[in-house]
Amino acid sequence: MSCVGGEALVNPRKTVVVVDDEPSLALVYKLFVQREGHDALSAETYQGAVNILAECNNVDLLLTDFALDTEHTGLEVIRFARSRFPDLRCIIISAYATQAVVDRAAAIKVPVLHKPVPVLYLLETIRKSLESSDTNVSSRATAA
Protein backbone atom coordinates (compact mmCIF):
# COMPACT_ATOMS: atom_id res chain seq x y z
CA MET A 1 0.00 0.00 0.00
CA SER A 2 1.27 3.43 -0.86
CA CYS A 3 0.12 6.53 0.97
CA VAL A 4 1.08 9.46 -1.16
CA GLY A 5 -0.20 12.97 -1.30
CA GLY A 6 0.17 15.58 -3.96
CA GLU A 7 2.83 18.16 -3.37
CA ALA A 8 2.79 19.60 -6.88
CA LEU A 9 1.98 23.29 -7.23
CA VAL A 10 -0.14 22.92 -10.36
CA ASN A 11 -3.20 20.66 -10.22
CA PRO A 12 -1.94 18.76 -7.17
CA ARG A 13 -2.84 15.12 -6.79
CA LYS A 14 -4.99 14.36 -3.80
CA THR A 15 -5.23 11.18 -1.77
CA VAL A 16 -8.69 9.65 -1.44
CA VAL A 17 -9.54 6.63 0.70
CA VAL A 18 -12.51 4.63 -0.63
CA VAL A 19 -14.37 2.16 1.61
CA ASP A 20 -17.17 -0.11 0.41
CA ASP A 21 -17.96 -3.68 1.46
CA GLU A 22 -18.99 -4.46 -2.11
CA PRO A 23 -15.66 -5.14 -3.90
CA SER A 24 -16.94 -4.14 -7.33
CA LEU A 25 -18.18 -0.77 -6.04
CA ALA A 26 -14.94 -0.12 -4.14
CA LEU A 27 -13.07 -0.74 -7.39
CA VAL A 28 -15.39 1.45 -9.47
CA TYR A 29 -15.16 4.37 -7.02
CA LYS A 30 -11.38 3.97 -6.88
CA LEU A 31 -11.16 4.03 -10.68
CA PHE A 32 -13.36 7.17 -10.82
CA VAL A 33 -11.00 8.93 -8.42
CA GLN A 34 -7.92 7.83 -10.34
CA ARG A 35 -9.42 8.97 -13.66
CA GLU A 36 -9.81 12.39 -12.06
CA GLY A 37 -6.02 12.37 -11.58
CA HIS A 38 -5.85 11.55 -7.89
CA ASP A 39 -4.40 8.76 -5.82
CA ALA A 40 -6.94 6.31 -4.41
CA LEU A 41 -6.62 3.61 -1.80
CA SER A 42 -9.49 1.24 -1.17
CA ALA A 43 -10.72 -1.04 1.57
CA GLU A 44 -13.68 -3.39 1.83
CA THR A 45 -13.91 -3.56 5.62
CA TYR A 46 -13.76 -1.27 8.63
CA GLN A 47 -10.46 -2.84 9.69
CA GLY A 48 -9.00 -2.46 6.22
CA ALA A 49 -9.94 1.23 6.25
CA VAL A 50 -8.44 1.69 9.72
CA ASN A 51 -5.20 0.05 8.55
CA ILE A 52 -4.94 2.39 5.54
CA LEU A 53 -5.79 5.48 7.58
CA ALA A 54 -3.31 4.51 10.31
CA GLU A 55 -0.50 4.18 7.77
CA CYS A 56 -1.14 7.36 5.81
CA ASN A 57 0.27 10.74 6.74
CA ASN A 58 -1.93 12.67 4.34
CA VAL A 59 -5.51 12.00 3.29
CA ASP A 60 -7.63 14.59 1.50
CA LEU A 61 -10.98 12.81 1.29
CA LEU A 62 -12.73 9.75 2.70
CA LEU A 63 -15.48 8.23 0.56
CA THR A 64 -17.25 5.51 2.53
CA ASP A 65 -20.29 3.30 2.33
CA PHE A 66 -22.53 3.51 5.38
CA ALA A 67 -23.30 -0.19 5.94
CA LEU A 68 -19.96 -2.00 6.02
CA ASP A 69 -20.62 -5.13 8.04
CA THR A 70 -22.69 -6.29 10.99
CA GLU A 71 -20.39 -4.55 13.46
CA HIS A 72 -19.28 -1.30 11.81
CA THR A 73 -20.60 1.62 9.81
CA GLY A 74 -19.11 4.35 7.72
CA LEU A 75 -19.70 6.74 10.61
CA GLU A 76 -17.25 4.70 12.67
CA VAL A 77 -14.68 4.89 9.86
CA ILE A 78 -15.18 8.66 9.80
CA ARG A 79 -14.76 8.85 13.58
CA PHE A 80 -11.44 6.98 13.36
CA ALA A 81 -10.28 8.98 10.33
CA ARG A 82 -11.01 12.30 12.02
CA SER A 83 -9.11 11.20 15.12
CA ARG A 84 -6.05 11.28 12.84
CA PHE A 85 -7.15 13.99 10.41
CA PRO A 86 -9.47 16.31 12.36
CA ASP A 87 -10.70 18.39 9.43
CA LEU A 88 -10.88 15.58 6.89
CA ARG A 89 -13.55 15.94 4.23
CA CYS A 90 -15.81 12.89 4.07
CA ILE A 91 -18.68 11.61 1.94
CA ILE A 92 -21.04 8.75 2.80
CA ILE A 93 -22.63 6.70 0.03
CA SER A 94 -25.48 4.42 1.03
CA ALA A 95 -28.44 2.48 -0.24
CA TYR A 96 -29.74 2.15 3.31
CA ALA A 97 -29.37 5.58 4.88
CA THR A 98 -32.35 6.44 7.04
CA GLN A 99 -33.22 10.00 7.97
CA ALA A 100 -31.51 9.37 11.33
CA VAL A 101 -28.28 8.49 9.51
CA VAL A 102 -28.57 11.55 7.28
CA ASP A 103 -29.12 13.72 10.38
CA ARG A 104 -26.13 12.19 12.21
CA ALA A 105 -23.95 12.75 9.15
CA ALA A 106 -25.18 16.33 8.75
CA ALA A 107 -24.27 17.02 12.38
CA ILE A 108 -20.63 16.26 11.53
CA LYS A 109 -20.79 18.03 8.15
CA VAL A 110 -20.77 14.91 6.00
CA PRO A 111 -23.00 14.67 2.93
CA VAL A 112 -24.88 11.43 2.28
CA LEU A 113 -25.33 10.31 -1.32
CA HIS A 114 -27.98 7.68 -1.98
CA LYS A 115 -27.15 4.66 -4.13
CA PRO A 116 -27.33 4.36 -6.98
CA VAL A 117 -25.44 7.63 -7.32
CA PRO A 118 -25.35 9.15 -10.81
CA VAL A 119 -21.71 9.17 -11.90
CA LEU A 120 -21.59 12.85 -12.79
CA TYR A 121 -23.12 13.81 -9.44
CA LEU A 122 -20.62 11.63 -7.57
CA LEU A 123 -17.70 13.15 -9.46
CA GLU A 124 -18.97 16.68 -8.86
CA THR A 125 -19.37 15.98 -5.13
CA ILE A 126 -15.83 14.56 -4.98
CA ARG A 127 -14.44 17.58 -6.87
CA LYS A 128 -16.19 20.06 -4.59
CA SER A 129 -14.98 18.24 -1.49
CA LEU A 130 -11.41 18.19 -2.76
CA GLU A 131 -11.55 21.86 -3.77
CA SER A 132 -12.77 22.83 -0.32
CA SER A 133 -9.91 20.81 1.19
CA ASP A 134 -7.42 22.98 -0.75
CA THR A 135 -7.88 25.67 1.90
CA ASN A 136 -7.75 23.07 4.65
CA VAL A 137 -4.19 22.37 5.72
CA SER A 138 -5.26 20.12 8.58
CA SER A 139 -5.69 16.96 6.53
CA ARG A 140 -2.24 15.85 7.57
CA ALA A 141 -2.05 13.40 10.46
CA THR A 142 -2.06 14.87 13.92
CA ALA A 143 0.62 13.86 16.38
CA ALA A 144 -0.46 10.90 18.48
If DSSP codes are grouped into helix, strand and coil, which group holds residue 41? strand
The letter for the amino acid at 66 is F
* CB atoms closer than 10 angstroms to residue 41: 23
* Mean pLDDT for the chain overall: 88
Residue 138 confidence (pLDDT) above 60: no
Return contacts of 44-47, CB within 8 angstroms, 24+ apart: 44/19, 44/20, 45/21, 45/69, 45/72, 46/19, 46/71, 46/72, 46/76, 46/77
Give the model confidence (pLDDT) of 54-96 as tens digits: 999 999 999 999 999 889 999 999 999 999 999 999 999 999 8
Q: What is the mean pLDDT of residues 116-125?
A: 94
Q: What is the mean pLDDT of residues 29-34?
A: 96
Residue 137 confidence (pLDDT) above 50: no
* β-pair partners for 41: 17
State the pTM of this model: 0.87
Give the model confidence (pLDDT) of 92-107 as tens digits: 999 988 899 999 999 9
pLDDT band at 7 (very low <50, low <70, confident <90, very high): very low
% the chain with pLDDT above 90: 78
Q: Which of 129, 70, 127, 63 is nearest to 93 (CA)?
A: 63
pLDDT band at 135 (very low <50, low <70, confident <90, very high): low
Is the peptide bond preceding residue 116 cis, with omega within 30 degrees of 0?
yes
Residue 5 confidence (pLDDT) above 90: no
Q: Which domains does the chain have, with CATH numbers?
A: 15-130 (3.40.50.2300)
Measure Cα distances from 36 to 12, 62, 82 in Å: 11, 15, 24
